[in-house]
Chains A and B, each alone.
Chain A
Amino acid sequence: DAMVIQNPRYQVTQFGKPVTLSCSQTLNHNVMYWYQQKSSQAPKLLFHYYDKDFNNEADTPDNFQSRRPNTSFCFLDIRSPGLGDAAMYLCATSRDPGTGGAKQPQHFGDGTRLSIL
Chain B
Amino acid sequence: GDSVTQMEGPVTLSEEAFLTINCTYTATGYPSLFWYVQYPGEGLQLLLKATKADDKGSNKGFEATYRKETTSFHLEKGSVQVSDSAVYFCVSYGSASKIIFGSGTRLSIRP
Q: Does B49 contact A (CB under 8 A)?
A: yes
Chain B residue with Cβ nearest A111: B43
Q: Using an 8 Å CB-CB cutoff, how does the interface string of A80-100 with B read, 1 for contact, 0 for none?
A: 000000000010100001000
Please give the distance in Å from B86's CB to the nearest CB on chain A.
Answer: 13
Give chain A's interface secondary structure class. Answer: loop
A105 and B49 in contact (CB under 8 A), knowing A40-B106, A41-B104, A42-B101? yes
Interface residues of A (CB under 8 A from B): 4, 6, 40-43, 45, 90, 92, 97, 101-103, 105-111, 113
Q: List 21 A-B contacts (CB under 8 A).
A: A4-B43, A6-B43, A42-B102, A45-B99, A90-B44, A92-B43, A92-B44, A101-B51, A102-B32, A103-B31, A103-B32, A103-B94, A105-B34, A105-B49, A106-B44, A106-B46, A107-B46, A108-B36, A108-B43, A108-B44, A111-B43
